[in-house]
């Protein structure tokens, strides 16, 4: 009858998982315009493949590290906030466990129902805070994607690339086609911080949803 409350691991894992989630970059405007043209015979284009490690960009860029730092701060603050409530509830559970044998059936049922209600209420608070942190990471990541998109497009144009693959889909790649390091450098020049604000995640993005 002990309350279950795991916040630190769950919230940190949620934040880091979101940081590692795929980024979606818009295709260069020229490519989009080309796709909108009527189908017609065109000369074959020689593939020029470039590779990028999306997870590494967010792990090693200054803005990605800043997001992780804020998630950790929110997590520690929440853990501190809920610790007292969790300790109190655990003591109540232990006391109730000792009394169950001597309580009248109707009294026992009511005490157990009350205790379980307190458990659910605390767990709901913890989950709500996790979701607010998750929503903040999603919003912050969208800002990073907005800044990163033009950077990736610019590098592709400079290198003459027309195909971009994520590093996770490539078995082997030489340094001259991996643009991750360059993307991190340019992102650091453009953005080093972004505010992670507690906010409800978009519909369908809730944990366990």
Surface-to-core class of residue 147, CB atoms within 10 Å of its CB (0-12 exposed, 13-18 middle, 19+ buried): middle
Q: What would the two tokens of residue 147 be?
A: 């800044």
Q: What pLDDT is stored for residue 64 in this prediction? A: 95
Q: What pLDDT is stored for residue 65 in this prediction? A: 96
The reported pTM is 0.72
- What CATH architecture is 47-190? 2-Layer Sandwich (3.30)
Q: Which of 164, 206, 203, 208 is nearest to 183 (CA)?
A: 164
pLDDT exceeds 60 at position 142: yes
Domain ranges of the chain: 47-190
Q: What pLDDT is stored for residue 172 in this prediction? A: 77
Q: Which residues pair with 49 in a beta bridge?
A: 163
Q: Which residues pair with 87 in a beta bridge?
A: none
pLDDT exceeds 70 at position 57: yes
Name the more confident of 22 and 88.
Answer: 88
What percent of the chain shows pLDDT beyond 90? 54
Q: What pLDDT is stored for residue 42 in this prediction? A: 58
Q: How far apart are the first and last CA of the chain?
A: 27
Sign of torsion, CA 135 136 141 144? positive
């Amino acid at each position: 009858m002990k309350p279950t409350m795991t916040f630190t691991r769950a919230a940190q894992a949620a934040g880091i998982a979101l940081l590692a989630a795929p980024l979606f970059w818009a295709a260069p405007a020229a490519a989009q315009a080309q796709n909108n043209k009527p189908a017609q015979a065109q000369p074959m284009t020689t593939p020029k493949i470039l590779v990028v490690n999306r997870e590494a960009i967010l792990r090693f860029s200054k803005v990605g590290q800043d997001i992780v730092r804020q998630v950790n701060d929110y997590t520690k603050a929440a853990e501190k906030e809920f610790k007292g409530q969790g300790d109190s509830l655990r003591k109540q559970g232990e006391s109730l466990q000792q009394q169950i044998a001597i309580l009248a059936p109707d009294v026992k049922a009511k005490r157990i129902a009350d205790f379980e209600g307190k458990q659910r209420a605390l767990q709901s608070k913890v989950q709500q805070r996790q979701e607010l942190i998750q929503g903040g990471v999603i919003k912050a990541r969208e800002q990073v994607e907005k800044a990163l998109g033009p950077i990736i497009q610019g590098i592709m144009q400079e290198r003459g690339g027309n195909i971009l693959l994520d590093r996770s889909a490539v078995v082997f790649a030489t340094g001259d086609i991996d643009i991750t390091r360059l993307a991190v450098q340019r992102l650091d020049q453009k953005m080093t911080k972004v505010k992670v604000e507690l906010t409800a995640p978009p519909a369908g993005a809730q944990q366990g949803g």
